[in-house]
Amino acid sequence: MASPPRFRIGYAFSPKKEQTFILPSLVDYAKLHGIDLVRIDPRLPLLHQSPFHCIIHKLYDQSWVQQLRDFASLYPDVVVIDPPDQISRLLHRDSMLQVVNQITIPHGDERIEAPRQVVLHDLDVVAKDGLHAFRDLGLKFPVIAKPLEADGSSKSHDMCLVANDSGLKRLSAPIVLQEFVNHGGVVFKVYVVGECVVCVTRKSLPDIAEEELEKLEPVSNFSRISNSAAPGYGETESFGGNGEGNVEMPSLNFVMNVAAGLREAMGLTLFNFDLIRDSRDQNRYLVIDINYLPGYAKMPNYEPFLTKFFLDVVHKRTAGGDSNSSYVNENEVVFC
């Protein structure tokens, strides 16, 4: 009896990304299901490290990008997840959220938007003209200040809440100023792997009443605050219904439509996005951030989630396999 086929999935990550993504639990689970995860050394020619059935990557230097393009042109049957040109729009916050406006929600009252934001390359102009110039930009305090670059470096996560024009003067350009929307202190993190989607809750910034604005520090740092789970909210809430703490999860159809819209508009298959609900308008949702190949290990039960994706990719390429299925266990529902 012939042995079942095995598939080589090459991965090219920074050492930090490899340490947090390629966990032993994923390697073992994937191997059990016919997937061998193989580390790619970007300093060596890809040709010397093949064969591969699929390559996943999160490296942005031009030497790697060019090597990957050359390899793909020689071996078009090797699936590259995802094309570098498509990934590049997520590396800059001035272009990251432009795709949100391309999403159409087929039916229902729920709406999806991107927050208003501006990119400032010269803070001296704002400082010189004061608050009037700032308001001319279409924003009002408080605002979220984010680095322009979103390349996954520690600096790209340095975000802060700016409460007044004095806080603006403490920032460094270039920087993105994004409107702050009260959203109940909870962000919905939506993980997308191919056609599969899972949504979990995370702690976020608390609502800020207008009368509380004067009490805030000019600048308040909140780097990575969304990575910790919100007290009282489960990290494996399924779609629909009310979550603990009276936080209502977005509807299944809505989140699936947003995820599908982003997937189509960006041409990407491995990403997550942060979704918030406007406290003043329960039907208004905003996508405030999109990340390529995020920390899936923080997602519950991520090993079968990723392994299924790898199998779908190679089966589609080699045998036209059907990727529609779902995993259900006692803790979560994964929709595919």
Specify burial of residue 119 (Cβ count, 10 A radius: 0-12, 13-18, 19+).
Answer: middle
Q: Taking a C-beta distance cutoff of 8 angstroms, is the pair 123, 180 a contact?
A: no
**234 among annotated binding-site residues:** no
Which amino acid appears at position 233 of this protein? Y
Close Cβ partners of 259 (under 8 Å, ≥ 6 residues apart) = 190, 192, 197, 273
Return the number of other C-beta atoms located less than 10 Å from residue 257's C-beta. 19
Q: Is 204 annotated as a binding residue?
A: yes
Give start and end residues of each alpha helix (H) in the chain.
15-21, 24-32, 62-74, 84-87, 123-129, 131-136, 165-168, 252-266, 302-319
The answer to whether 27 is annotated as binding is: no
Q: Is 17 marked as binding a ligand?
A: yes
Helix (H) or strand (E) holding 288: strand 284-292
Confirm whether residue 99 is marked as ligand binding: no
> Is 178 known as a binding-site position?
yes
**232 carries a ligand binding annotation:** no
Nearest Cα residue to 71 out of 6, 152, 12: 12
181 annotated as belonging to a binding site for a ligand: yes
Q: Is 16 annotated as a binding residue?
A: no
Residue 146 in marked binding region:
yes
Is 158 assigned a ligand-binding role in the annotation? no
- Beta strand 219-221 pairing with 160-162: antiparallel
Nearest-angstrom CA–CA distance, 157 and 108 = 34
Q: How far apart are CA 295 and CA 227, in angstroms?
A: 10
Residues 256, 259, 265, CA angle at the centre, nearest 5°?
A: 135
Structural contact between residues 264 and 255, judged by C-beta atoms closer than 8 angstroms: no
Instruction: Give the whole-angstrom CA distance, residue 173 versus residue 5.
Output: 53
- Using DSSP's 3-state secondary structure scheme, residue 6 falls into coil
189 is in an annotated binding site: yes
SS3 category, 242: strand
Residue 184, marked binder? yes
183 annotated to bind ligand:
yes
To the question of whether residue 295 is assigned a binding role by annotation, the answer is: yes
70 annotated ligand-binding residue: no
| Residue 308 annotated as lining a ligand binding site | no
Q: Residue positions in the annotated binding site?
A: 17, 58, 93, 146, 157, 178-189, 204, 274, 289, 291, 295
Q: Residue positions in the annotated binding site for 1D-myo-inositol 1,3,4-trisphosphate?
A: 17, 58, 157, 189, 291, 295
Q: Residue positions in the annotated binding site for ATP?
A: 93, 146, 178-189, 204
Q: Residue positions in the annotated binding site for Mg(2+)?
A: 274, 289, 291
